[in-house]
Amino acid sequence: MTSFRRCGLVLIGIAWLAVARVSAAADLPTLWAERAKAVVAVEYVTETEVDRRPTVTMGTVVDTQGTVILPPGAIDPRAALWQLKEFRVYLPGDANSAPGEYLGQDAFTGWHFVRADAALRARMVPVTNFAGPKKPAGLADFVWGIGLRGKDEDFTPYLLQSHVALVQALPQRTGIAQQEVAAPGLPVFDREGGFAGLALASFGQTFLQFSRGARSSAVMLVNVEESSAFLLAEDVLPYLGRVPKQPNGRPLAWLGAYGLEPMDREVAKFLKLSTQSGAVVSEVLEGSPAEKAGLRARDIVLAVDRKPLPQLKPDSVVVRYLEREIDRRAPGDALPLSVLRGAERLELNVVLGEQPKLVREAERKYFDRLGVTVREFVYGDAVERRARTADSAGVVVHFVKPSSPVAVAGLRFDDWIKEIDGAEVKTFAEAVQRLAEIDRDGNRPEFVILVGRGGETAVLRVKLK
Amino acid sequence: MKPFPVRSIFALVALVCGLGGAPFRAEAAMSRGFNRLLDAVVRIDVREVGFEGGTRRYTAGIGSGVILSADGLILTNAHVVSPRAVEVNVTLANLERVGAKLVGWDHWTDLAVLRLDLDEVKRRGWKIAHAEFGDSAKLFPGQEVYAVGTPHGLTRTVTRGIISNPNRYFEDSRGVNGYETGAFNTWLQTDAAINPGNSGGPLVTEDGKVVGISSRGYLGANNLGFAIPSATARSVMAGLVQQGTIVRSYVGIVPGALQDLENFYALQLSSGGVLVNSVDPGSPAAKAGLRAGDIVLAIDGAKVDGRFPEQLPPIQNLIASRPVGSTVKFTARRSGETREFAAVTERLESRVGEEWAFEKWGLSVRKVSRTYARENQLEDAGGVVVIGVQSGYPADVAGVTRGDIVIKINQQPIDSLAVMKAAHAAYEANPAPTLLETQRNRRVSLYILKP
């Protein structure tokens, strides 16, 4: 009798355990409430010559030190570091915020790293706490994620859910759900609450727009608040520790092959590369590691480190594949390339270099009375203007204040200032000194600048009175 | 708003003709000279081939012209009859039609010369009258002029107006069917109604003397018409009759009017000068060391005054009229110093190269010219620009788009259209996958034209 009763208790216990397990997994609101602590909203200000623009973006908590990753598009790549100010981190549903520190962008993943103030850290839970799905998300799997409402609603979190419709290599393993599954930059989870991936910027969808009396026209819409595409966990978790050593993201690996272009299957077949793909090098930049290694314009890169470039869909993905091979390396690392030159196959051993100064790193100076910001002429400017680096003197117009004297004279963004008052401008310092003199001199009625614009030049007369 | 070439644009038009006014003017209009002029004005019907959409397309247009010699030479506009014309028919004053052939054209001055099929004229026993040039240099603002032509296909329409400005500067880098125009001449501006179809017709004085060739009007404006002055027309016509083309010299300077910059450059008003606004990269002027911002004071020792835009065409013409390969000496001022530069001229070339359509590929192309290559900072003048593809044809299917520059075909550099024509002929005979190497914004792509 007793043994029967015991047995019955055990049976009931097992049944209860089974039910509890199922109900725990199904209790989405509980899972959601726990995991909402792994997401934050981040607000920062971009300061320009004439205004301050606040931007709100969202991020995922990746460790217990308050480190947050923001998606690649969260910050304008042209903005200089000193323009990015007042980072603030908000917890979902909370009107209070704490300061954050910008740590820089990782070139390989594209993620921006921000560290939240210690005060918030106790209330943040790293997404890695939920790591460990037994298998990567696959076709038809249930997935869900978190979205955040706007600042006026205290970034209240909400639930999004869907099923996986497709998994594709782009070249990272990317899940595409049937509907929006999370805000870009926020995590995606599986049924048990395991970390399944990180939402990407959403893909565009084509809609037909009808209007009265006109034929329908196709428009592409991109949802900026929610996304149905996400990187699978396997392409996220190994890289969460790639916090940049310095805010400028350096060191940055550099090859110096300009305009890598994909080839389609027909071309691959014609070149007898039926099972693999290749990338055409449009130009090899002056003084670059690619030039030093003997790479030439119109070479076709077939393999990196003896590994043939795969045929991916769409064709253009092969370029991202090759770029990632560069970005995952550091300056000084080897990048063994197999290339096709005409009918000849060559092995080139490239040693990657350090990226020359970028536009966002160039020095700048704003002259309020003239209404212009000039910036240092950097390597990328010479490339863009087909100038030899030896000839690259002058400064570039970075900003023109509307209705200012230079605007009235016809100066435009990206103009290349070569001469001021008939005398050549050699360096940034020289340009700044000359413009500062003009800016200060209240008696000066006018000055003349020679600018280059798209291969042509023009003499502009700036009236100051 | 840009002046439009006055041909084949259809709109409602109120006929304006010289019936009103004081009686003595009506009498003048009936003078012998004017009657003779009326007999010399012709309507021109043109059928021309275009290569835009990946195929050959034929279009028809109407313009005007004036017979200027007893042997049947007709002057008209370059935008009326160009080398693209495949059939030209002329309607004479007796309303009979006769064929004509293009003798030569010059888009820079928007002029073309035709020759009537005189054999046919003789065979059918017609008499042709010809008009005479007047002196455009003697025209004054307010002087009465008449435009005769075929506005909107209305044959033999006379409109009356005055010379509004005898020296109008107007330059358009795409003004004559995409070709450059106006750099070497100024224009007569008139308020005589000039409508589409008036193009190539004469602008005459009361005695029927041709002082201009009507060419353009401002679209949407009232009676702002432009004509090529007879002084320019006379010399260009002579050149075209002699050589079929006008050969000009090029150094690669883009001039700018000094306007009120003299003070800045510390020049004396009397000395004038021309501002060098831009120097084409790789051009003779660039090789000679001239730079943008220089002030040219003299050309071959003769002072030049380019303070105002109207003064620029004659200066440009001064350089252009030098023999190709001759050395032009520039005296220029830079940073307060006066220096000499010597440039050896090249032959002036249009940005627009020869066009062709490869119909099996559905691919229309235009040869890259030296000028186009310089403008677009290309490495050399090799290759062809894609100006159109036909949907569903091999070029379109492969992904080639308008604006791509095809550099190589089956790995062979395209240094002339002939290379591509040969490849197309081979493809026609034996369709096989053909490899194209193209460039767009400096990015090199490969495409396969697949049968």
pLDDT digits (tens, 9 = 90+) for B101-124: 999 999 999 999 999 999 999 999
Question: What fold characterizes domain B249-347?
Answer: Pdz3 Domain (2.30.42)
Would residue B39 show up in a list of annotated catalytic residues for this protein? no
Closest CA to A296 of A236, A354, A337: A337
Mutation target to probe the B interface, by most B beta carbons within 10 A, among A258, A298, A385, A457 is A457
Per-residue confidence (pLDDT) for residue A273, from 0 to 100: 86
Contact A457 B279 (CB under 8 A): yes
Q: What ipTM goes with this model?
A: 0.83
Q: What would the CATH number be for the domain defined by B352-449? A: 2.30.42.10
Residues of chain B contacting A450 with CB distance shorter than 8 Å? 292-293
Percentage of chain B lying above the pLDDT 90 cut: 78
Element (DSSP H or E) covering residue A336 = strand A334-341
pLDDT, residue B9, reads 40
From chain A, the residues in CB contact with B448 under 8 A are 264, 266-267, 269-270
Mean pLDDT confidence for A229-253 = 95
Q: How far apart are CA A63 and CA A241, in angstroms?
A: 9
Residues in A touching B376 (Cβ below 8 Å):
455
Report d(CA B408, CA B427) in Å as an integer.
Answer: 15
Check residue B336 and give its pLDDT.
79
The pLDDT assigned to A146 comes to 97
* Segment A317-370, tens digit of pLDDT: 999 999 999 999 999 999 999 999 988 999 999 999 999 999 999 999 999 999
Q: State in Å, rounded, how far the first CA of chain A is from the last one.
A: 109
CA dist A386 and B400 (Å) reads 25
**Residue A7 pLDDT exceeds 60:** no
Average pLDDT for B119-146: 96
- Of B399, B442, B447, which is closest to A259 when you measure between CB atoms? B442
Q: What is the per-residue pLDDT across B217-231, written as a single tens digit (0 to 9) for each?
A: 888 888 999 999 999
Q: Which helix (H) or strand (E) holds A16?
A: helix A2-26
pLDDT confidence band for B12 (50 / 70 / 90): very low
pLDDT the model gives residue B84: 95
| Angstrom distance (rounded) from CA A137 to CA A135 | 6
Known catalytic residue: B278? no
Cα A364 to Cα A383, A398, A433, distances in angstroms: 19, 8, 13
Average pLDDT over residues B174-179: 90
* DSSP state letter for B323: P
Query: Would you call A258 and B442 a contact, using CB atoms and an 8 Å cutoff?
Result: yes
- CATH class entry, domain B1-246: mainly beta
pLDDT at B266 (0 to 100):
60
- How much is the average pLDDT of B283-291? 94
- Quick check: B272 pLDDT over 50? yes
CA distance B347 to B350: 10
Least confident of A47-61, A160-174, A213-227, B404-418: A213-227
Question: How far apart are the C-alpha atoms of B133 and B139, rounded to whole Å?
Answer: 13
Name which of B108, B101, B93, B117 is nearest B208 in CA terms: B93
**Which spans in A91-246 are helix H?**
118-121
Angle of CA points A281, A287, A288, to nearest 5°: 45
Q: Taking the CB of residue A56, how many other CB atoms lie within 10 A of it?
A: 15
The structural domains of chain B, with segments of one domain joined by +, span 1-246, 249-347, 352-449
Which tokens hold the place of B193? 């109604």
pLDDT at B19: 34
In the block, tokens 């090759």 appear at A322
Q: Which residues pair with B366 in a beta bridge?
A: B355, B385
Q: Which domains does chain A have, with CATH numbers?
A: 253-354 (2.30.42.10), 359-463 (2.30.42.60)
* Tokens read off for B33: 């000279």
**B446 contacts in A (CB within 8 Å)?**
261, 263, 267, 280
pLDDT score recorded for residue A456: 84
One DSSP character per residue, B284-302 reads: HHHHHT--TT-EEEEETTE
Selecting from A297, A298, A459 the residue whose C-beta is nearest the C-beta of B293 gives: A459
- In total, the C-beta contacts within 8 angstroms joining chain A to chain B are 80
Q: How close is the nearest chain B Cα to the Cα of A157, in Å?
A: 44
- Give me the amino acid identity at A234: E
| pTM, two decimal places | 0.84
Q: Do domains B1-246 and B352-449 have the same CATH topology?
A: no
d(CA B268, CA B277): 20
Nearest beta carbon to residue A455 from set B261, B375, B442: B375
CA dist A60 and A36 (Å) reads 10
pLDDT in tens, B44-90: 999 999 998 899 999 999 999 999 999 999 999 999 999 999 999 99
Residues B414-442 as b/e (b if ≥16 CB within 10 A, e otherwise) read beebebbeebbeebeeeeebbbbbbbbeb
pLDDT tens-digit profile of B293-319?
A: 889 999 999 999 888 899 999 999 999
Identify the burial level of A299 via C-beta atoms within 10 angstroms of its C-beta, where 0-12 means exposed, 13-18 middle and 19 or more buried: buried
Q: Is the pLDDT of residue B325 over 70?
A: yes
Per-residue pLDDT reduced to its tens digit, A86-135: 999 999 999 999 999 999 999 999 999 999 999 999 999 999 999 875 78
* Active-site entry in B69, B79, B164, B364: B79
Q: Which of A76-85, B199-208, B370-379 has the lowest mean pLDDT?
A: B370-379
pLDDT of residue A18: 44
